[in-house]
Each structure stands twice: as structure tokens, then as C-alpha cells.
Chain A
Amino acid sequence: MIKSRFERGQLNRIRLHVMPTKRFKTFSISLFAGLPLAEDTVTPVALIPFVLRRGTASTPETIAFRERLDELYGAGFGFDVYKRGDSQIIQFRMDVINDRFVSFDKPLLAESLKLLGEVLTDPATESGKLRSKYVNAEKETLRKRMEAIINDKIRYAAERCIEVMCQGDPYRLHALGQRADIPAITAESLTAMYRKWLSEAAFDLYVVGDTTLEEVQALVSDAFRIGEGQSASYVMPSVSKPVNEVRTVVERMDVNQGKLNMGLRVHTAYADDDYPAALLYNGILGGYPHSKLFLNVREKASLAYYAASRLDGHKGICTIQSGIEIANYERATAIIQEQLESMRSGQYSDLELNQTKAMIANHLRELQDSANEMIAYDFNTVLSGKERSADELLRQVQAVSAEQIAAIARKTELDTIYFLRDGKEE
């Protein structure tokens, strides 16, 4: 099934992962930078990519920087800040078309890596510091992003559920940081944090497209002014926190629909041997439209439009989310708990097991058709230290027995029930 593989290299502190392939019309580039999630650094670290995307030393004005991207046939350029396990990860993404479709006087991959290298290691500065105009404007943007989480009630409820569930754990922190930390940040303090980040974060650069490891190595060596030394590695998250009693939290906001969320501890993470069984547990419970939650909460009881579960493999947490009529809280909670109980007592048919295996297998095969999904899958290896190709995971999933899923179900503990309901209470 594997059609192409990532070739690995290293350039100073950056690990390189290159997949040469002619299947796509583009070059897809991703740069991951990770640091441990920590209360005192989470906010300034989150701010770094916002400021870096404003301009580089050679194109310090944002408008000129954006025009440069447009010149590269509208190269896609974006970034994301998120958490995986106990790490805070910044990902820069670029997508540029392959030169064979257009006539351009400069090689597009080289120009793109040059630009990304400048963004990362050669930003716009004034007197040796990041430009204060950009720092101030992006502090405001970051604040607005944090406050905007409330606008999407589905996401808000999911994040509140994790926050409640992970009190005292770095995972409670939002990847974008904490609002109260923003005012104290200055161009000076952020520049110091940026330098520390450059010298301490784990850097991984991925390129998928019609190129070679040697070519990328040479281009990165020209474009990235990153210090010598060993690459940093990721810390393994703690996933074994026992549950003493189920916490129930009800919060109020001016909403039409109630959002019912639950957080479960699976006590199994990506690197563990029983991770494939945890994938099946989640799939049978609520990963798909044939799963127990969809069938029982939506199709049988007509209580919800969506009712699903999701496994966060890097933290060993399974979350359940659904949107319900507020008056149906007790009923929906009871039906979901019944599904958890039926998982614990091993009540699932061969059909459910086989359907779920087929869906996971399909997902793992489909990855191969998307450069960005192949990159995301491979990055799991870097994050967890566990070498497991999509092929291997597929074979392991196929081999999981009903008993192995039951073992996951028996050790899985409901930790938190979170309900967002109507009525103002601020």
C-alpha cells in the first residue's frame, strides 16, 4: 500500500522529512515547533507566530510580505497553535503549486522555503528587537482570538469540559494561552522568548512533492539561519491519572441548544500497544454514523442532530459531544451512560466490530491521497517516539479482538460531565 516514504535528514536543530512524489500538483511544506505546555510560557509562545507572519527582515512591511506570497502563485501560507499530549505546538504550513503548471522565472519550492526560513529565523526587527508595532497589534489579535472561542458554542463546551477535567494538569491550558498574561508582554520580553524558543523548541520540517531530500537539505541550509546543535525531542505526556469521582459541571449562557459533553480517561496513549484497541473502542462507541451514540441518541431517541465521540490519542482522553434540547439533559445523559455501560459489558456485535475496523482501515488508506494528512500522520511518530506506519497500524487494528476492546472499556473511566445550558449567569 505504501507508495512513497519519508526520507529523513537533519540540518542543525531541524529534523527534515521529505517525501518525493509526483502525485500532487503542489509542494506541501509544514514546519512544526514544539515546547512543553507550561503556564508561564504558553501565552508568549503562542504570540510568536502571529508576530512572525507580519514580515521578515527583507520584506518588513506586511503588505509587501503578502504580495510576495501572491507572486508565488498565491502560495498558501498559514499557521496554527495547538496542543498535543503535554506539548504546545506551532505549525507553519505552506502550499505552492509545482512549476510545471505555470511559467515563472524562479523555482517555486526554493522561493517558498526561502520565505519560510526568513519567517522563522530572520523576522522584521528594529534595534535588535521584534517590531513593537507588530507585537502590539498581534497582542490584540491574540486577545480577540481567545475571546472568540465563546462564539462557537460547540467548541467552547468541548474546551470547557477539558479545562474542568484537567485541573492541575498542563493540559488544562488553552494552546493560545491566558488572557491575563497578554498586557505584560513587551517587544523586549517577546524577543527574548522568541530566541529561547528558537534554541529550545523541537523543530521538524516536512516537504511532500516532486523533490528530493538532497534538494531540500541544500535549500534549507541556505534559507534557515538556525543554530547548530541537537534536535530537541518531545516529552511523553502523563496519561494515567485515576478518577476518584465523576465531576458534573453545569454552566449557563444565552443559548438555544444545550451542549452535553463528557470526558473519559482511557489510560492508553498513542505509543502503547493497546492503542489500536482504544481506536476501536472509540469507533464503536461514537466515531461514526453507525456507532452506538449516533444510533441511540440520534436515530432511536431523536434527541440530537450530532452525538459523537473522539479519541485524543496523545493524551489518552476520549470525549463525547452532543447538542440536545435542554429539557432532555437527564434522558440524554442516561442514554449515553447506557452506551458506556454496554461497552464495559462487551455488548457489541461482530457487525459493529467489523464495520468499525473497515472504517478505520479506509481512513488509514485514504491518508495516502493527501500530502497534509501524510505529514500529520507521520508527525505522530515524532511526537510519541513510537514508530508505527499507517500500514502497521492498519494490520494491528484488523487483529484487535473483542476481548482487547473490552479490556480498554473496563479500564476507561468517566471523569467529567459538562453541560452548557440556557439562561444568563455570568
Chain B
Amino acid sequence: METLTYPGVQETLYREIMSNGLEVVVLPKEGFSKTYATFATRYGSIDNRFAVGDQAPLSVPDGIAHFLEHKMFEEPTGDIFATFASQGASANAYTSFDRTVYLFSATEQIDANLETLIDFVQHPYFTDENVEKEKGIIEQEINMYRDNADWRVYYGLIDALYHVHPIHIDIAGTADSIRQIDKETLYRCYETFYHPSNMFLFVVGGVQPEKVFELVRNNQARKTFEEQGKINRFFDEEPASVKQQRKTAVLPVSLPKCLFGFKEELPKLSPEELLRTEITTKLMLDTLLGSSSPIYHELYDDNLISDSFGHEFNSSPDYAFSIIGGETRNPDELLGRVRAAIEAAKESGLNEQSFERTRRKRIGGYLRLLNSPEAIAGEFTRYRFRGADLFQLVPIFEDITLAEANKRLREHFNWDRMAVSIVAKDPI
């Protein structure tokens, strides 16, 4: 057991890697009633072509990682939600671009709930019949999202940005793609990505680390996993250009929703450099376009944006893009105004005082996030999977210079690599 102390945020972590490769991290929270555990695999919607070791690459239907997540909850004895409920735990799961996370939160029977979490995720049970049955449910999930304007405009933008990278594929797939899913393919995906060496267990709450490690050690000792080679993921080469400059969907909405984003090819960076680039970019975007920026207030005063106006930046070794926007009465006027403001900022550089204030705001926001066990578990896993440490962000926030932010400002906004996504009640 390894102990990691973080005086800056007043937290201590305990970590152990099981002999089968499973990494376990425990964060005791004194005085907390609840324990929150997440069991995650490095497997998400983008992992649609892969091979283990020197096997031949396998291409799988869109939406299969999410489908697999649904199916894991079924055991020969019935639905695992019922077991958790009997043990007073509320359980859930989610699939994102690059990971699938199973979780529970409970205030009692923590040992039993931890065993249940590990056991059900390590026990697939797929039959032709139960796979078929799930298709109706997931089709309704897909239909629900199709009616959701915020979802449509957001994923519509990512789809417009990327030609071939699977990040542009809907996480749940489509009604057609999920029809192609069968139990054999589900098992193949399961065996590849749910090997303990590809997974991460995080436990936060009123627990004793040594007891958690002992429970997991004993649990894993009862199971055998064959050693697994390296998982190789295959992506076609993504062109630098955007796939579609403007993408519009028609839905009954009160005002057009307009998001635009810039696609970037970051040079091959180490995990540390990538993290620093991401944080710098977010600081830059917030200084430039955040709710305390002059441009935000001008646009609000001119009734071009509402409180929904926001920005984000996503990066991984394979992709990097920003998303900016919200609802607006006039997408083209909004775009023109933001473009002019960005061009002016490229000339003048960011205001130093605003930059310092934004730095302080984001440090505060980060510390506030550490109040929530759910947020810690989710974010810790996300950072861990990209080779970074959630508890070591403050020194990076403090270290970034205005010059770095200005450099990102000039690099990021390349108008040839911008796409726009609009959802409106009439075609625009």
C-alpha cells in the first residue's frame, strides 16, 4: 500500500496495484456518512477498432460499449439493481468517449456493496434473448436524445468537426447500428476491455484503506484472469480540416442554439504537457469569453446571448477541440461579433488583471469541486486515465503564465478549422 499526501488540498490517498494488474485507490473522508465507489474501464465509444497483442484488428458496431454497459446489470439471478437496493445502495453507470464507469453510493453494508460492484462488473451474462430485449430500451434512449436540442447541437458540432475519428459517432450508436450487436461481439469486447489490468477502482468516503485493499485482494484471488497483451486501438488518419463547416438540425426550440468550435492537432505531447495545455486553454477561454469578460457583457446587452453562453475545451492524445456558444437570436451575428473580439484579443493579448482574476476564480472552482465525493471519483478517474493526478492541479494553475495563455490564444483560433452547429425551429 502506497500513501500519497497532498497538503495543499488537505487530502491523503492510498493506492495499491493487485497482482492481476487492477489498480485501486482509496480516499478516506473523515466524518462522511457515505461511501462512493467507481469501477471504471478504459473503454468508451471511440474504441471501435482494436486488437490484443498481434491479433487481427476487429471492427465493432457503433454504440457497443454503451450497450455492454447496459447489459452488465443483468445477472442469471436477475437485475443487479435489486441486489444493490437490498443492500441500501444506489447504483448507476455511464459510458463516455473513452471510459465506462460503474458506481454505487451507500451508507451501510459497504463491504457487501463493494463485493457486488466488483463481482457484477467481472461477470458478464449475455444471452441471445437478453441482448435482443435490450435493443428496444436503447432505441428509446436514442430517441430521447434525438428530441433533446442541447444534446443535438453539442454532438452535432463534434460530428461536423471530425471526418473519421470515432469521437464523432454517437455514444449510444444508432437504431441501425445497435441492431447488429450480438452476444458474441459483446463477449469479445468484454474480454478485451474488462481485464483487471485495464481497470481502475476508486473508493471515497468513510472507509479504512487497509480494509478495502484486503477485501479487493481476497475478491480477486477467487477469480482467475489470463494474462493479457497490450490493447491496440486503431484510428484512421484524421484530416486537419473540419468535415462540415456548418451543420443544422430542425427541432421545435424557442430560440436557435448555436455552438461553434475549433479543431486542433496538438503535437505529440507528454501527459504532463497535454494537461498543462488543456488547463492553459481553459484559462484563456474563460478570460476571453467568461461571464466576467467585456465581450460577454456586450453580447448580453445586445441580446445576442443568454446565461446559457459558455465554453469548454477537450483534449486527448488523438483529438483536441473547443466548444463555444449557447442560444442566440442570430447565430451569424453572434459568430461575427465573437470573431471580431477574438481577432482584437490576438492583437492586444489578454488583459493581465482579467487573467489573474480568472486564475483565482478557477482555483476556487477546483477547490469547491473537492467537496463532492461524486465529483472527486469521476474527475480522479478521468485524470488518472490520461496519466495525470487530480490533486496536483493547483500548482499548475499557479504556474501558468500570461504569455503561455496568449500563445494558446494565437494558436487555437484558426478560422479554417472552425465548424458551426445550429439547432433551430426553421432551417437557417
A interface list, Cβ under 8 A from B: 1, 3, 22-26, 62-63, 66-67, 69-76, 95-97, 101-102, 137, 140-141, 144, 147-148, 150-154, 253-257, 288-290, 294-295, 298-299, 302-306, 323-325, 351, 354-356, 358-359, 361-363, 365-366, 368-371
> In the complex, are the beta carbons of A371 and B300 less than 8 A apart?
no
Of the candidate stretches B132-140, B193-201, B225-233, the one touching chain A is: B132-140
Answer whether A362 and B291 are a contact pair too, CB < 8 Å, given A144-B306, A355-B82: no
B267 interface residue (CB < 8 Å to A)? no
* Alpha-carbon separation in the docked complex, A57 to B95 (Å): 48
- Chain A residues whose C-beta falls within 8 Å of the C-beta of B33 in the assembled complex: 1, 3, 365-366, 368-369
Interface centre among A67, A154, A358, by most B CB within 10 Å? A358
> In the complex, are the beta carbons of A150 and B253 less than 8 A apart?
yes
> In the complex, are the beta carbons of B133 and A73 less than 8 A apart?
no
- Chain A residues whose C-beta falls within 8 Å of the C-beta of B345 in the assembled complex: none
Residue of B nearest to A366 (CB): B34
Interface centre among B150, B252, B257, B364, by most A CB within 10 Å? B364
B24 interface residue (CB < 8 Å to A)? no
- Chain B residues whose C-beta falls within 8 Å of the C-beta of A151 in the assembled complex: 149-150, 253-254, 257
* Alpha-carbon separation in the docked complex, A289 to B144 (Å): 18
* Alpha-carbon separation in the docked complex, A137 to B300 (Å): 9
Answer whether A70 and B358 are a contact pair too, CB < 8 Å, given A137-B300, A152-B148: yes
Q: A-facing mask of B23-46, CB < 8 A → 1, else 0?
A: 000000011111000000000000
> In the complex, are the beta carbons of B363 and A351 less than 8 A apart?
no
From B30, B106, B143, B361, contact of A256 by CB (8 A): B143
> In the complex, are the beta carbons of A302 and B144 less than 8 A apart?
no
> In the complex, are the beta carbons of B147 and A74 less than 8 A apart?
no
> In the complex, are the beta carbons of A76 and B368 less than 8 A apart?
yes
- Chain B residues whose C-beta falls within 8 Å of the C-beta of A298 in the assembled complex: 137
Interface residues of B in 127-166 (CB under 8 A from A): 133-138, 140-141, 143-144, 146-150
Could you list 20 A-B pairs, sorted by A, with CB under 8 Å? A25-B9, A26-B367, A63-B297, A73-B363, A73-B367, A97-B367, A101-B9, A101-B10, A140-B303, A152-B149, A256-B143, A257-B146, A288-B85, A289-B85, A290-B85, A305-B137, A305-B141, A323-B144, A351-B82, A369-B34
- Chain A residues whose C-beta falls within 8 Å of the C-beta of B140 in the assembled complex: 257, 303-305, 323-325
- Chain B residues whose C-beta falls within 8 Å of the C-beta of A62 in the assembled complex: 297
> In the complex, are the beta carbons of B364 and A97 less than 8 A apart?
yes
- Chain B residues whose C-beta falls within 8 Å of the C-beta of A1 in the assembled complex: 33
B392 interface residue (CB < 8 Å to A)? no
Min CB–CB distance A291 → chain B (angstroms): 9
> In the complex, are the beta carbons of B137 and A304 less than 8 A apart?
yes
From A75, A355, A371, contact of B85 by CB (8 A): A355
B292 interface residue (CB < 8 Å to A)? yes
From A144, A354, A362, A371, contact of B327 by CB (8 A): A144
Answer whether A366 and B86 are a contact pair too, CB < 8 Å, given A1-B33, A255-B147: no
Answer whether A361 and B360 are a contact pair too, CB < 8 Å, given A63-B292, A97-B367, A147-B254: no
Of the candidate stretches B237-245, B336-344, B370-378, the one touching chain A is: B370-378
* Alpha-carbon separation in the docked complex, A148 to B425 (Å): 12
Contacts beyond the supplied A144-B254, A147-B255, A153-B148: 11 A-B pairs with Cβ under 8 Å = A3-B31, A25-B9, A25-B371, A72-B364, A148-B255, A257-B144, A323-B140, A323-B144, A355-B85, A365-B33, A365-B108
* Alpha-carbon separation in the docked complex, A101 to B373 (Å): 18
> In the complex, are the beta carbons of A256 and B147 less than 8 A apart?
yes
Residue of B nearest to A324 (CB): B140
> In the complex, are the beta carbons of B107 and A365 less than 8 A apart?
yes
Min CB–CB distance A67 → chain B (angstroms): 5
Min CB–CB distance A98 → chain B (angstroms): 9
* Alpha-carbon separation in the docked complex, A370 to B135 (Å): 37
Min CB–CB distance B218 → chain A (angstroms): 25
- Chain A residues whose C-beta falls within 8 Å of the C-beta of B81 in the assembled complex: 288-290, 294
From B79, B88, B291, B327, contact of A299 by CB (8 A): B79
> In the complex, are the beta carbons of B371 and A24 less than 8 A apart?
yes
> In the complex, are the beta carbons of B327 and A365 less than 8 A apart?
no
> In the complex, are the beta carbons of B138 and A305 less than 8 A apart?
yes
Answer whether A74 and B363 are a contact pair too, CB < 8 Å, given A25-B368, A305-B137, A354-B86: yes
- Chain A residues whose C-beta falls within 8 Å of the C-beta of B294 in the assembled complex: 63
* Alpha-carbon separation in the docked complex, A134 to B259 (Å): 27
B362 interface residue (CB < 8 Å to A)? yes
> In the complex, are the beta carbons of A254 and B251 less than 8 A apart?
yes
B307 interface residue (CB < 8 Å to A)? yes
B427 interface residue (CB < 8 Å to A)? no
B87 interface residue (CB < 8 Å to A)? yes
> In the complex, are the beta carbons of B360 and A73 less than 8 A apart?
yes
Q: A-facing mask of B402-421, CB < 8 A → 1, else 0?
A: 00000000000000000000
> In the complex, are the beta carbons of A70 and B368 less than 8 A apart?
no
- Chain B residues whose C-beta falls within 8 Å of the C-beta of A325 in the assembled complex: 140, 143
- Chain A residues whose C-beta falls within 8 Å of the C-beta of B365 in the assembled complex: 74, 76
> In the complex, are the beta carbons of A362 and B107 less than 8 A apart?
yes
Residue of B nearest to A322 (CB): B140
B105 interface residue (CB < 8 Å to A)? yes
> In the complex, are the beta carbons of A361 and B141 less than 8 A apart?
no
B114 interface residue (CB < 8 Å to A)? no
Min CB–CB distance A129 → chain B (angstroms): 19
> In the complex, are the beta carbons of A362 and B106 less than 8 A apart?
yes
- Chain A residues whose C-beta falls within 8 Å of the C-beta of B34 in the assembled complex: 365-366, 368-369
B179 interface residue (CB < 8 Å to A)? no
The list of the 9 closest CB pairs from A to B, nearest first, reads A73-B364, A74-B361, A302-B136, A358-B88, A74-B364, A147-B254, A355-B85, A365-B107, A305-B141
> In the complex, are the beta carbons of A25 and B367 less than 8 A apart?
yes
Min CB–CB distance B224 → chain A (angstroms): 31
* Alpha-carbon separation in the docked complex, A254 to B135 (Å): 24
> In the complex, are the beta carbons of B360 and A74 less than 8 A apart?
yes
> In the complex, are the beta carbons of A153 and B147 less than 8 A apart?
yes
Residue of A nearest to B294 (CB): A63
- Chain A residues whose C-beta falls within 8 Å of the C-beta of B89 in the assembled complex: 362
